[in-house]
Structure 1
C-alpha cells in the first residue's frame, strides 16, 4: 500500500502539510519525490511534473523507495498495490520494482510497438493496484486503476490555471476531485502541451483493458451458451438450467469454491514481513470480523495456510449509538447495560469466534473488541468525511466509520481460549494486512434484492442483478473503503475479489452458487450464498453456515446515530 500524488503545473507543485501527512499515514515506511520538466521546451510556457510517493513496505526483503525511476530513460513510476501475478506467473520480490523492469523492457521496443508493449504490461497484472507512469521517451502520462477498482486514485483538472493532478485521496473536499474510473488505462499526451496543460481539446484518452476494443468483464455471454475465458476477467454466464438442479453439499461448485479461495488467500497471507519493531507474538494478518459467513470462512481457511505459530487477529467493532443506547436503557429499567456487547455484530462475532476456537484448537485466534464511544465518533467525523470524498451520503459515512475504526485496530482482547469478554486488556493489533469478505454477496447472491429479483423473473433477473452489483463495486465501494482504512497504515485485501476467483464465479451458472429455486430443507441452509454456506458446513462450522446477512452499518450500529428518520441517501451536511 502506498500514497500517490502527481501534479502537472506551470511551477513546481508543493503539497500541503495536511496532504503530506495523509499520504504518510497510508505509507509510513518511506517518503520520496521526483520532478521532471515536460512539454515543448521551446515554448515560453514550460511545465513541471512533480511526483510524490509514500510506501507501506509489504513485498520483498527491503523497502522499495518510490517514486521508482528508470535511470536510463528518466521515466517515473508511482505504484500503489499488489501484483500477485504478471503474465500468469507469480511475482517474486518487490512487485513495484518488477513492474518497472517490465516497463523498461517495453521502452526498448521500436516506437511503433512501444505503445502496445507498455499497455500489455499493465494489462497482464493480476492484483489490486493504482498507478501513474511517466513515459519520458514518449512524453506521456499513463495512469489507471485495476479492472475492479480495488485501489483508490483521484483526479482533478482545472482548465483556468492549467493544473492537472492525480492523488490517492482528494487534496481538498471540493467538487473538482473525482475518482478515476476503473474502466481502462488513461493516457495524457504531454508532447502537445501548449499554453494550458489541460484544456477542452487536450484531455486524457481512455484505452480498454482488453486490446482490440473487446468488451470488458461486465459483459454477458449469450443465454444458453457455454462460458468462455477471455483475456480480461471473464463474462457473466446467463444460461438457464434445463431442469431444477438442487445445490447440495455434494455439488462440484462447493469444492471448487474452496480451492479458489485457498488459491486466492495463499499470496495474500503468506510471506508478509514482520511489522517494524516486531516482537515474538506479533500478528501479521487480521480479519475484519463481524462474525458473519464471509469473514469467518476466510478466517477458517487462513488457518489452513499460515504457519502454526502465527496468530490471527479478529477485529470486531461496535459503536455507542445514542438512539439505541436510549432504547436499551429504557428497556433495562435502571439496570446497567453494556451497549457494546449488545451490538448485533458483537454477539455474532463472539459466537463465531468460539466456533473457530472449537474447530481450530491449535490456532491462536485473538478477538479484538473495538468499542467506539459516541464522542470519539464525532471527533473523527471530519477526518472520515474528508477521506471518503467524493462519496458523501449518510450511508457512506456510516459504513466508513465502521471500516475506519476497525482498521485502526485499537481495542481490548480476551485471553486465548476464553471465548468471552472476561479479563479483557487494552490491545492494538500489529497486523498491517487486513482481510475483508467484500465481494461474496455480489458474486454469490447474498442480498435480499437478489432473492427479490429471482422471485420476479427467475434466473434471468437474478443474473442481471448480480451483473449490476459486480460491475459497480469500484464506483460504489472500493475506492471509498481503501481511503478509509489505509489512513492507518494498513492494507486491506479482498480474497473474494481475486481475478481468477471472480472469473470462476461469474462464469459459473447462478444455480450453482445460490439456490432460490429450492427451500432451506433441501440443503439445511438458506438459498442466498448457498455455495458458501455449504462450504462452511464442510469446514464444520454449522452455526456460521446459518448466519443471516446483516449490513455492517446495522451490525456495528453506526447507522442513524442521531436521527432514526434520516435516509442512507441523504447528503452529508
Structure 2
C-alpha cells in the first residue's frame, strides 16, 4: 500500500506545496518512505510533480518511490505505483522481487500508447498508478479493472489535473473510473481514455458480446439449467472443489512471504482478518490455517460500537441491569461463536480474537477525519460502513487471556494488532448469490431472473466503493487484500453456471445449507465448519451497529451535514 499524489500544471501556474494535513495523510498510508520527483515537459509548457509514500510489503527491501530515471535534459520516466502485482504477463512475480520495479522495467522502453497499455493489461492484482512517459510526452493514470485501490482526480486551471490517493480538501474531486486507463498529452493538452479491451481481443466488451464481458476479465455464463438428469449441488460437486482450489491459490499470493511488521519483534502475526464471524471471512481464516506455517498467528479483528439508540432499548429491556453493549452486537456474538469453531477445528493454530470496542465518544472524536477520508462520498451509509472499516483496520482493542482454571473468568488485556495485511471477504456475495435480492429474483422469475440479477451485480464490481474503503483502512498503514476478487477466481466464478453456485431450485433440507452462496457454504462444510456454513448474511453497518446511531429514521442515502 502506498500513497500517490501528482500535479500536472501549466507552466504559468506555480506548483504549490503539499499541505501539512495532506502530507501526514499520505505518510499514514505509506510510513516507510516519502519521495518526490519533479519534471518539465520537453516544450517547457508543463510542470509536473510526483509524490509517493511507501508501505513496504513486497521484495526484500524498501523500494523507494516514485520510481524514475534521469535520462534527457528535463528528466525521464516517472512511476507512482500503489498496488500489488501478483502476476505480470502471466508469470508470478518472485518473492524477492518488487512488483513496482518489475512493472516499471516493462514501461521504461514503451514508445507507443499501445505498448504502455500492453504493460498495464499484463498486470494481475489491485493497483492504482500515475506514469509519466517521457518519450511520448504523456501522463497516464488509472485503477485496476475492479477498482480495488483509490485514485481520484480534480481539474485545475489551464487544463491541468491533480491526482491523489486521497483528496487534499481543495476543489472538486472525483473517483477515477476503473473502465480503462486515462492520459493527458503534454503536447496538445488533450485527455483520452484507453479501454482495457479493444474489439477483436480475447474478451470483447458487452457491446460486441451477447453474454456480456465483466470488467474485461471474462464472459458471464448466462446458461439456464435443463434439470434433466442433473446432479444436485453437494459437497462432492466439482464446483465446490474448484472453488477451494481457486481460493487457496488466491490466498497463497496474498498471505505468504509477507515481511515482518516493524512493530512485531517475533513476526508471528503478519495477517489479520476483518472478522464478523460470517461465512466469507471465516472460510478465509480457515484456509489460512492450511496455508501458513504452524507458528504464524492470525488476528481476527471484530468491531463493535456503542450505539446510544440501541443501548437505550437494550437497557430498558434488561430492566435496569448492566448490559455490555459491545458483546451484544450481532457481529460480536457471531464472531465469538465462529472463533470457537475455528479453534476447535484448527488445534495448534493461534487465532487471536481482537475485540475492537468503539465508545460513542471515540467515534465522535474521529468522525470528521473519517468524513474527510471518504470524500467525495458523503452519505449516511458511506459513513456507517466507513466507520466500521476504519476502526477495524486500526486493530486496537483487547483480547481475552485464557486462565488455566476452567472455573475462573478470563482476564482482558489491551492489544494492538501488528499485522499490516488485512483480509476481506468482499466479493463473495456478488459472485455466488449471497444477497436477498438474488433469492427474490429467483422467486419472481426463476433462473432467468437470478442470472439477470447476478450479471448486474458482478458487472458493477468495479463500481463498488472500494476506493472509499481503501482510503479509510490505509489510513492506519494497513493494506486490505480481497481473495475473492482475484482476477482468475472472478473469471472462473462468472464462467460457472448459476445453479452450480447458488442452487435455489432445491430446498435447504436436501443439502443442509441454504441456497444463497451454497457453493461456499458447502466448502465450509467440507472444512468442518458446520456452524459457519449455516450463518446468515448481515450487513456490516448493522452487525457492528454503526447504522442509525441517534435516530432510527435516518436513510442511508441522506447526505451528511
| 8 A Cα contact 2:198 2:205, kept in partner | no
Out of 352, 357, 361, which is 1:371 matched to? 357
Q: How far, CA to CA, are the matches of 2:402 and 2:491 in structure 1? A: 38
CA offsets, 1:420-449, max 9 Å, x none? 983120000000000000000000000000
Q: How far, CA to CA, are the matches of 1:536 and 1:87 in structure 2? A: 33
Deviation of the 1:252 alpha carbon: 0.6
Q: How far, CA to CA, are the matches of 1:220 and 1:139 in structure 2? A: 33
Q: How far, CA to CA, are the matches of 1:359 and 1:524 in structure 2? A: 19
Out of 541, 554, 557, which is 1:553 matched to? 541
Q: How far, CA to CA, are the matches of 1:391 and 1:231 in structure 2? A: 22
| 8 A Cα contact 1:282 1:430, kept in partner | no
**Change in CA separation of 1:514 and 1:393 when aligned onto 2, cut-off 3 Å:** same
Out of 454, 464, 488, which is 2:476 matched to? 488
- 1:62 aligns with 61
Q: How far, CA to CA, are the matches of 1:380 and 1:152 in structure 2? A: 21
Out of 50, 53, 76, which is 2:78 matched to? 76
Q: How far, CA to CA, are the matches of 1:219 and 1:123 in structure 2? A: 20
Is 1:248 matched with 2:234? Answer: yes
Out of 18, 21, 32, which is 1:18 matched to? 21
SS class of match (2:371): helix
- 1:328 aligns with 314
Q: How far, CA to CA, are the matches of 1:332 and 1:207 in structure 2? A: 60
**Change in CA separation of 1:408 and 1:3 when aligned onto 2, cut-off 3 Å:** same
**Change in CA separation of 1:506 and 1:39 when aligned onto 2, cut-off 3 Å:** same
Q: How far, CA to CA, are the matches of 1:354 and 1:71 in structure 2? A: 56
Q: How far, CA to CA, are the matches of 2:401 and 2:268 in structure 1? A: 15
- 1:198 aligns with none
**Change in CA separation of 1:539 and 1:91 when aligned onto 2, cut-off 3 Å:** same
Q: How far, CA to CA, are the matches of 1:33 and 1:383 in structure 2? A: 25
CA offsets, 1:157-187, max 9 Å, x none? 13x454411000111175x100000000111
Is 1:503 matched with 2:500? Answer: no
SS class of match (1:318): strand
| 8 A Cα contact 1:141 1:187, kept in partner | yes
- 2:325 aligns with 339
Q: How far, CA to CA, are the matches of 1:473 and 1:566 in structure 2? A: 26
Deviation of the 1:277 alpha carbon: 4.2
| 8 A Cα contact 2:354 2:415, kept in partner | yes
- 2:338 aligns with 352
SS class of match (1:517): coil
Is 1:237 matched with 2:221? Answer: yes
Within a 5 Å distance, the mapping from 1:444-459 to structure 2 comes to 444-459=432-447
| 8 A Cα contact 1:70 1:100, kept in partner | no
- 2:35 aligns with 32
CA offsets, 1:465-503, max 9 Å, x none? 222222223323211111110000000000000000000
Deviation of the 1:28 alpha carbon: 0.4
Deviation of the 1:395 alpha carbon: 0.8
What is the aligned length?
Answer: 548
- 2:182 aligns with 186
Deviation of the 1:518 alpha carbon: 1.0
**Change in CA separation of 1:417 and 1:155 when aligned onto 2, cut-off 3 Å:** farther
In structure 2, list runs of 5 or more residues that go unmatched: none
Deviation of the 1:217 alpha carbon: 7.0
With the length of structure 2 as denominator, give the TM-score of the two structures: 0.94
Deviation of the 1:208 alpha carbon: 0.9
| 8 A Cα contact 2:273 2:298, kept in partner | yes
Does 466-475 or 392-401 show the bigger shift?
A: 466-475
Deviation of the 1:125 alpha carbon: 0.4
Is 1:164 matched with 2:161? Answer: yes
Q: How far, CA to CA, are the matches of 1:235 and 1:535 in structure 2? A: 24
Is 1:267 matched with 2:253? Answer: yes
CA offsets, 1:132-180, max 9 Å, x none? 000011100011000000001000013x454411000111175x10000
**Change in CA separation of 1:217 and 1:529 when aligned onto 2, cut-off 3 Å:** farther
- 2:500 aligns with 512
Q: How far, CA to CA, are the matches of 1:370 and 1:412 in structure 2? A: 7
Q: How far, CA to CA, are the matches of 1:305 and 1:450 in structure 2? A: 32
Q: How far, CA to CA, are the matches of 2:386 and 2:531 in structure 1? A: 28
Q: How far, CA to CA, are the matches of 2:497 and 2:413 in structure 1? A: 48
With the length of structure 1 as denominator, give the TM-score of the two structures: 0.92
**Change in CA separation of 1:369 and 1:532 when aligned onto 2, cut-off 3 Å:** same
CA offsets, 1:359-387, max 9 Å, x none? 00110000000000001111111111111
Deviation of the 1:27 alpha carbon: 0.4
Deviation of the 1:14 alpha carbon: 1.3
In structure 1, list runs of 5 or more residues that go unmatched: 108-113, 194-201
Within a 5 Å distance, the mapping from 1:309-458 to structure 2 comes to 309-415=295-401, 422-458=410-446
Within a 5 Å distance, the mapping from 1:276-291 to structure 2 comes to 276-280=262-266, 282-291=268-277
**Change in CA separation of 1:265 and 1:141 when aligned onto 2, cut-off 3 Å:** same
| 8 A Cα contact 1:216 1:233, kept in partner | no
Q: How far, CA to CA, are the matches of 2:413 and 2:393 in structure 1? A: 19
| 8 A Cα contact 2:4 2:53, kept in partner | yes
SS class of match (2:373): helix
Is 1:96 matched with 2:100? Answer: yes
Within a 5 Å distance, the mapping from 1:109-188 to structure 2 comes to 114-158=112-156, 160=157, 162-172=159-169, 176-188=172-184
Q: How far, CA to CA, are the matches of 1:60 and 1:261 in structure 2? A: 23
Deviation of the 1:72 alpha carbon: 3.6
| 8 A Cα contact 1:7 1:50, kept in partner | yes
**Change in CA separation of 1:416 and 1:120 when aligned onto 2, cut-off 3 Å:** farther
Q: How far, CA to CA, are the matches of 1:283 and 1:569 in structure 2? A: 38
Does 467-476 or 149-158 show the bigger shift?
A: 467-476
Q: How far, CA to CA, are the matches of 1:231 and 1:87 in structure 2? A: 18
SS class of match (2:398): strand
| 8 A Cα contact 2:402 2:411, kept in partner | no
SS class of match (2:452): helix
